[in-house]
Amino acid sequence: MSEIIILPGLGGSGEGHWQTLWERQAPEMRRFQPTSWDRPELADWLAALDWEIRRSKTLPILIAHSLACQLVAHWAASAPAKIRGTFLVSAPDPTGDVYLTEAPSFANPPRQRLPFPSLLVASTDDPFASFDYAREIAAAWGSDLIDAGALGHINANSGIGDWPEGRTLFERFRTGLV
């Protein structure tokens, strides 16, 4: 069984976030640990991600939310280690009207094909990215795209609890990895 590394976005996916709830339910899941969840610095987050991947005993699968989707794109540009794939949720648009101003070093994520299988799940009413942006970035990254419907930023504020529909999408993605 593959190890699974949880990559929260800004703030670290608090108590009611589906990533936190999934992690509590599955011993094969663990969270990467950058220095700060609230003052993210790309170099620090890249080092924390690389460390988690390198300490894995199997090729891990990444589950990234929001800002961590951009982290994955930046990390993949140099891909110092290998992973089986990544499940991306709610990638924010760095050129949009509402952006995570606390994370300027994450702006301009590479728009190149990811060197591993990926799936992007996006909401039709995400305040941080239009669905058109999700379609555009999924194409640039070579990611399959799933329309999750109107779920906001697909976080604790979306009222989805442990997001069983997302868990089904993730299991389907994981099963399809070679």
Confidence of residue 89 (pLDDT cuts 50, 70, 90): very high
Q: Stretch 160-171: mean pLDDT, rounded?
A: 97
> Which structure tokens are listed for 122?
């996006």
In Å, how far are 2, 112, 156 from 116, measured between CA atoms? Answer: 15, 12, 28
pLDDT band of 151, cuts 50, 70, 90: very high
Mean pLDDT along residues 156-172: 96
The pLDDT assigned to 127 comes to 93
- The domain limits of the chain are 4-176
For 9-68, the pLDDT digits (tens) are 999 999 999 999 999 999 999 999 999 999 999 999 999 999 999 999 999 999 999 999
Q: What's the whole-number mean pLDDT along residues 133-142?
A: 97
Angle between helix 42-54 and 67-78 (nearest 10): 70
**Over residues 119-125, mean pLDDT:** 98
Contacts of 2 (CB under 8 A, 6+ apart): 28, 58, 59, 60, 61, 84, 174, 177
Average pLDDT score over the chain: 94
What does the pLDDT read at residue 100? 61
CATH class of residue range 4-176? alpha beta
Which pLDDT value is given to residue 94? Answer: 85
- pLDDT grade for 164, boundaries at 50, 70 and 90: very high
pLDDT of 99 > 80? The answer is no
